[in-house]
Structure 1
């Protein structure tokens, strides 16, 4: 175990609470029970051999008379970087590709249909340093870069959709860099890409040194297994960002992230789950894990001493459902694969029950927001 880090909230509770009490705690914390999936023995053995955590859970929906269940399995992958951050770029990428290939193989054994990788998965999360080289050398084409070609091979081999978040180099628009998620169909074709809408300017997150807010809007991708969207990292703090993916029809919204404990951990279990509830959809939070050390010190000019580490990426990836239930999280310190079986019929069932979209009054907010963004906006405040 990493120094000073606990393995997971779930492990702490199970260690210290008697079973009868723990059952009520799970209900209060996580809502309706998710059933544990009976994963293949070969997958469990492979995860042990390859040294990553494997968990599987299923969400239930009511049986309908006119619609068959729409069952899909998603796989969330969290992982550490494998080599020191000053290792040659090509070696770092190759090591991570091998690691992901091993985990995706196990996902396929578990019947996963859609895999989502963590934010900027091919590289260290070096955007704290503000150095350009060698970090910009990890950038590549979303359409035909080596990482996209690698994921296309996996998608075809295992008949699954892959969401691959990378540092994109757009050679057709001035070599501009973007924080981008590439969506690859189970046929191996690139369905498209979506760029990070909201860029942090907090603490060591100096990301605007490398890329700015995305320009692809709120795309939703129709796959063989359902309609998916990708809300990259900092976008999870913006409720309207989740809303627009939902308005465009997303049934599953993936949220690949890289976020550290001291900054955001109290928010992590709440935001994606709230979004699932508010938008009648499934949400999947994926966070990288581990502590990454950089050779050169850096500072955010906040009065603190220069340092070599960003902080601990705390993993804890999970899936939340529109009824407010959620899976337990993966480990805070280990690589892992979380398999979740979803019945997408639950989205409409909860929509019919709570009707948040029907009662949303979007026209009211659209009119008032249109006024609020004007330079001469006068807030609507009543005074005596």
Structure 2
């Protein structure tokens, strides 16, 4: 920072004319006038502390995402695994999206926010969509796999969705009933196969209400779900959800939970799309509240990992798909057993935990948090 010369030195005080009536001193630069900013001593501004509760929630949610992905190759023929998958898929991504919406409340189209959106979301999307396409081409021996930034594959749909959701945040912040409007859009998307698959729009639109819900939340709402009564109610809630999922496992298509297809694409009548969209939204909100009720509030051993969830999310797909391409699940049929399911769960949890650690985050910072001041105008680069 530029420091101006210190020309505001303290001058000697003039002699008093009378002891009983001191002469009124004219304002000087060192007494009454405010000190120029350049001459003020730099005050150490403490860094903004991260909220341990939300870091814990993000880490636990990303573990559930990785675990659920690892169950896919081993849950065929296991009704219990399919039930656990259905319950987990009902709320794990909604919980992550709600938190993302909550932290997007201040987003506007200012240069600094636009720059952060591009560097923190768009650039990782381009890099990892390309990386996953190349990985699928060579690891799965699929030479016909093309690199298309308009067709997100596997995990990268979330980055494309987050870019769209956050870009439209000012719209949702100015509507009178944003959640109702977003639910109407999600319902329409559930029975509109003509939308197409560009940028995985069916999934983007059907998950949209959770992001909009996060935009509407306030700190007091999270205080409410952390009350002891809510924690106690969460236990029977999850028990009922597991029982319902166990009953529905052989009767229900998993596409309803993925939210990437219309009702007609799954061979269901169009009106069932509206019913399932609203029903799953209600179930997801309840289960998310139950999940958040049991998230620890204090600093835990895994709290620091909450800052690296983007790395865990984007990288764990290479582990899951790599094991699948290598035939690990095909050669070990015992993994479908309860013991195998537990082992797969522990391996996925450990893997995504390692991928969220600070060393991995530092290595990937050039991709997930690039500087790129050279690509932006000066007013956007100063953040």
What's the TM-score, normalizing by structure 1?
A: 0.29
Higher helix share: 2
Higher strand share: 1
